[in-house]
Amino acid sequence: MRGAECLVPEWAALIEAVIAASVRAVAESLPAWRQDTTPDATTADWDDVKLTRRGDSEAYRRLIERHQDRVARMLWRFSRDRRVHEELVQDVFVEAYLSLRGYNGKAPLAHWLARIATRVGYRYWKEKARRKGTEAFDLQEWDEAVGAGLTTGALEPDHAGELLHQLLEQMAPRDRLVLTLRYLEQCDVVETARRTGWTKTMVKVQTLRARNRLRRLIEQSGTE
Amino acid sequence: MNWEEKIERLAARAQAERTPRVDVTQSVLHILASGEAQPLTAAERLWMWLAAAASAVAVPAATAALILYTRSAGPLNEIVEAISWAVR
């Protein structure tokens, strides 16, 4: 009985490896995946990833320290509540650790983390949207603030980010995600597809729909 | 200035905004060390794959069964069955 128990994980690992290899083979044969021609991970990152997989927590500490500012900057687009923001950054690194086996070093670690950060941020928006409706928002007031700030040129970058965040908060999570990536993160179609896991066609369609919905929202308020 | 120009200018301005500094190193390492979050074991991953494969098979099978049932249980089909001897 004990022998049988020992064998199960081995068989499980073997079967899992075969399935994973098959899935990888199929994935690599798809054109969208083949276009991932990003440069390799930096040597320092790759070395630390390998050490982390062997259980070296110091290596993972170095990885976090190296990448947390970039991840934090990205997630500031998803929540401007400092407590939530910190939790999201934390979730990214916990999730990254748990799926570190799946990182193959073909793309820079920063790109891989950006994908995880997008997923974590998007999930947070979806949960938030399920929990409650959007907060009261006066588009007329928003438009006046934007108009005044832009014409005088006195609009601070932080305030500009806040205003954009308020507006995009009125959109559904899916629309908000694509508009945030395209406008704020300045991602092109390929990068948006990479971060969201959508196809390029889907990104284009989603961008068009989201922009139309945003235009309608603004037109309905009578500010245009 | 139309709405899109406004948004583009806001976005350009927002590029220079400051992000609050966070340091999650300790908290992440603490969560990982305490075992609150652990990677799936090989057996768990195998079950996950099996569940996904079973779902992938079950959904088309259920759809096909439903289609066949609705076809065979239709009123027209019952009439045809009833007079099948005449057709023969």
pLDDT at B24: 96
pTM for this predicted structure: 0.70
Candidates A12, A94, A101; nearest CB to B31 = A94
Question: Mutate which of B2, B8, B13 to test chain A, going by most A C-beta atoms within 10 A?
Answer: B13
- Rounded Cα distance, A130 and A12, in Å: 37
User: What's chain B's length in residues?
Assistant: 88
Calculate the alpha carbon distances from B33 to A120, A155, B29, B30, B42 in Å: 21, 45, 6, 5, 20
Q: Which residues of B touch A8 (CB under 8 A)?
A: 43
Candidates A76, A146, A183; nearest CB to B19 = A76
SS in 3 state form for A126-179? HHHHHHCCCCCCCHHHHHHHHHHHHHHCCCCHHHHHHHHHHHHCCCCHHHHHHH
Candidates A65, A73, A160; nearest CB to B19 = A73
Which backbone phi and psi does A84 adopt, to 5 degrees? -65, -40
Distance from CA of A22 to the nearest CA of B (A): 12
Residues A93, B28: C-beta atoms closer than 8 Å: yes
Q: Token pair for residue A221?
A: 């308020």
Residues B11, A183: C-beta atoms closer than 8 Å: yes
pLDDT at B27: 94
Q: Which residues of B touch A167 (CB under 8 A)?
A: 7
Of all residues in chain B, the percent with pLDDT exceeding 90 is: 36
A9 to chain B: nearest residue by CA? B43
Distance from CA of A210 to the nearest CA of B (A): 12
Q: Write down all domains in chain A, each with its CATH number in brackets.
A: 38-133 (1.10.1740.10), 134-224 (1.10.10.10)
Residues B10, A69: C-beta atoms closer than 8 Å: no
Candidates B2, B22, B28; nearest CB to A85 = B22
B10 to chain A: nearest residue by CA? A160
Residues A158, B41: C-beta atoms closer than 8 Å: no
- Rounded Cα distance, A179 and A196, in Å: 12
Residues A89, B22: C-beta atoms closer than 8 Å: yes
pLDDT at A220: 75
pLDDT at B22: 93
Residues A98, B37: C-beta atoms closer than 8 Å: yes
pLDDT at A11: 65
Residues B22, A147: C-beta atoms closer than 8 Å: no
Mean pLDDT by 10 residues, chain A (224 residues): 51 65 54 41 87 92 95 95 96 94 89 96 94 71 76 81 89 94 91 94 95 86 60
Closest CA to A211 of A194, A74, A126, A181: A181
What's the rounded mean pLDDT across residues B28-46? 82
Candidates A8, A160, A224; nearest CB to B10 = A160
pLDDT at B79: 78
pLDDT at A135: 64
**Distinct helix (H) and strand (E) counts, chain B:** 5, 0
User: In the predicted model, is pLDDT for residue B42 greater than 80?
Assistant: no
Distance from CA of B20 to the nearest CA of A (A): 8
What's the rounded mean pLDDT across residues B37-62? 88
pLDDT at A36: 39
